[in-house]
A and B are shown apart, each in its own frame.
Chain A
Amino acid sequence: MSRLLHALFLSMAIVAVASCGKAESPAASGELVVKIGASNPLTGPQAHLGKDNENGTRMAIDDANAQNLTIGGRKVHFELLSEDDAADPKTGTIIAQKFVDQKVAGVIGHLNSGTTIPASRIYADAGIPQISPSATNPKYTHQGFKTAFRVIPNDTLQGKALGEFATGKLGVKTVAIIDDTTQYGEGLAARFEEAAKASGATVVTHEHTDDKATDFRAILTNVKAKSPDLIFYGGMDSQSGPMMKQIKALGVTSKFLTGDGGCSLEFITLAGADGEGIYCSMPGQPIDKMPKGPDFMKRFNAKYGEIQDYAPYCYDATMVLVQAMKKAESTDPEKYLKVLAGMDYDGVTTHVAFDENGDLKGGVITVFQVQGGKLVAHDILSSKP
């Protein structure tokens, strides 16, 4: 009996101490802690992109905290909850549910369309605003969810612009298309195919791989047999880099064009000298033409090193979210969501405003070419979807 009592007292003591600890931190300083979720692949083939996104988001959170904002009369402190979804749709939905359970005020992410789209339903059901800095599949904002936004032009625009670029500026007549069968890769490849066909090119073959493959020789041999003027790849850099090496090793001389997933420093490292001369695109302006691009790049480089891909978009996504809370004078998703939908914000990348779907208004696509191991802006396209 005495042992039982002892145990009871002990457990009560533990509970008391634990609850004390919890109550103390925010209340003591009088600050309102606002949790913001960020979900990116921090492990696996796309870890470098995920880390880049996390850094961009973290920089915005730090800047917002440095501004000593008050919302609804209370001083606020933003807290970043960063999770690893490994670019896996299933893990993405588990994290989304976790964010909902943790009552985050908003979510920046996810990185991939494949993880963003299934997660968006969970955020929509919970009424939590979500801004993706990098998911470009059109479907994300076309499911009728009021909580889904993005700060990057979508693939309807990107695919169309690239299709027209290939037939127009590059003057190609025949194209081979390869995609990685993810929502992003397949979606972009399909938009590209439509546009290329519409502007007069012939699609000689459409091959598929997956986002973990390392051997592309079998499909590349098929492509080689058709000797197309151009190979288009819908997928990420961790595949397109090694693929580029195999293209050259097979003696294929076609031009190569890929979307934003392959437009990174990692692609150049993986492809090495074989990546020279290829074309890739990024939605938005090149960083030195972005309204506050050069300044952002300087600060980011000093803090985290080179920008891989989407860091500036993450910064804008986070800042828009914070500004919407400030303008609404509330961190309650229900209250600031309406303000967010009507935001007008001068970001690093562009002037951010959303259309009725939550897509970025306007927007251009920049085509880069790899020259001397660097991404050099080649052309800025503005095709109306």
Chain B
Amino acid sequence: MDIFLQQVINGLVQGSIYALVALGYTMVYGIIELVNFAHGEVVMVGALVSLSVIERLAARGYSGWTVIVIGLLLAVPACIALGLGIERVAYRPLRKAPRLAPLISAIGVSIALQQLAALIWGRNYLHYPDILPKTQYAIGGAVISEVQVVILIAAAVLMAGLWILVQRTRLGRAMRASAQNPAVAGLMGVDVNRIIATTFAVGSGLAAVAGALVGAYYNVGNHTMGFLLGLKAFTAAVLGGIGSLGGAMLGGLLLGVIENLGAGYMGKLTDGAVGSNYSDVFAFLMLVLVLVLRPSGLLGERGIEKV
């Protein structure tokens, strides 16, 4: 039983990172119906910027969570600026263009950002310094580390904050209105361009946090780290129902848990024929299954409030 619990804990931690990134995909999709393929790269930039800061502080002997927070204080504005820049340069001019044009533009931005990061940070794996406490807590036969606890709490707080922002504030109402019908929202006095930019800024800020958490969790960073993470997060967003905030959160957590359980139990279920290296296959099989049964994703329904 403790093994099952351990796999679920690991899955939830991985899943909450997926969820944070998935929110960025789903928010942008909800408002302009664009799959922002450069979003994974924004996460990577967030991770590498915070890494650079953390490395310098660690070299001067600072340690602990404050260092990560200082790293975030730089990474979040950097990613917000990057997100706004991408929207302004690559997407806004194409807003009235055929649907495929901004998609190609997004892929282009993604490749350009990867190469730019390779120029700035090099192509080698960078490692995070050992600055975080290694405290572990035992629960019911499984262990959870302090880093994992912090990731879970940070993700939960951010998601709750986002929920309040969208559901309870004037800005959130404007976002929901723009998502439902940009033309009418404009007529009602909503500055749609500003709302779209804000959506990108919020998504990119979350991406920066996700990037820093990924770095702290796995202790490595690299210019290609955003690609697979972005793909997984996009999958999570589709699994939950793209365009739906709750869907992105649920999809992220589910994907994390499915992956870990898949890696954990696949060998046993198939009697060793298919090993733990097929956990990605397992995750995507689940996605196909969900989409066959519910084409709009778990929580994605026509007419649902989307942002």
Contact = CB atoms under 8 A, between A and B. Distances in A.
Q: Do A and B bind each other?
A: yes
Interface of A: 43-45, 47-48, 181, 205-210, 214-215, 217-219, 221-222, 224-225, 238, 241-242, 245, 248-251, 269-270, 272-273
B170 to A, nearest CB: 40
A270 B259 CA distance: 25
A221 B134 contact: no
Contact of B276 (A219, A241, A269): A219
21 contacts: A44-B125, A48-B124, A181-B277, A205-B267, A206-B275, A207-B275, A208-B276, A214-B218, A215-B218, A218-B11, A218-B260, A218-B263, A218-B276, A218-B279, A221-B7, A222-B264, A222-B267, A222-B276, A238-B220, A248-B134, A250-B6
A221 B259 CA distance: 13
B10 interface: yes
Contacts of B136: 249, 251
Interface string B264-304: 10010000000111010000000000000000000000000
A218 B7 contact: yes
A208 B261 CA distance: 15
Contact of B6 (A45, A206, A221, A269): A221
Interface string B218-248: 1110100100000000000000000000000
A270 B145 contact: no
A209 B276 contact: yes
A9 B286 CA distance: 66
Contacts, number: 82
A45 B14 CA distance: 22
Nearest to A84: B123
B123 A43 contact: yes
Contacts of A224: 3, 6
B264 A47 contact: no
Interface centre among A47, A181, A207, A217 (most CB of B within 10 A): A217
B130 interface: yes
B3 A238 contact: no
B127 A219 contact: no
A221 B125 contact: no
Contacts of A250: 6, 143
A207 B267 contact: yes
A90 B222 CA distance: 22
Given A43-B123, A207-B267, A214 B220 contact: yes
Give 5 closest A-B pairs by Cβ, nearest first.
Answer: A218-B263, A208-B277, A43-B123, A217-B10, A225-B3
B124 A47 contact: yes
Contacts of A241: 127
A189 to B, nearest CB: 12
A2 B8 CA distance: 79
Contacts of B276: 207-209, 218-219, 222
Nearest to B11: A218
Contacts of B264: 218-219, 221-222
B275 A208 contact: yes
A98 B130 CA distance: 42
Contacts of A209: 276-277
A222 B125 contact: no
Contacts of B263: 218-219, 222
Contacts of B7: 218, 221
Interface string B190-226: 0000000000000000000000000000111010010
Contacts of A249: 134, 136, 143, 145, 147
B229 to A, nearest CB: 10
B130 A221 contact: no
A65 B143 CA distance: 59
Given A218-B276, A242-B218, A272-B130, A44 B123 contact: yes
A214 B44 CA distance: 14
A74 B262 CA distance: 64
Contacts of B279: 218
Contacts of B130: 272-273
Contacts of B225: 214
Given A242-B219, A245-B219, 10 more contacts: A45-B222, A210-B277, A217-B260, A218-B264, A218-B276, A222-B263, A222-B267, A224-B6, A242-B218, A273-B130
A197 B106 CA distance: 53
Contacts of A48: 124
A195 B168 CA distance: 65
A210 B277 CA distance: 7
Nearest to A45: B125
Nearest to B147: A249
Contacts of B219: 242, 245, 270
Nearest to B10: A217
A47 B6 contact: no
A91 to B, nearest CB: 14
B267 A215 contact: no
Contacts of A214: 218, 220, 225
Nearest to A245: B219
Contacts of B262: 218
B3 to A, nearest CB: 4
Interface in B103-123: 123
A203 B219 CA distance: 30
A43 B260 contact: no
A103 B19 CA distance: 53
Nearest to A237: B125
Given A47-B124, A222-B3, A242 B267 contact: no
Nearest to B2: A225
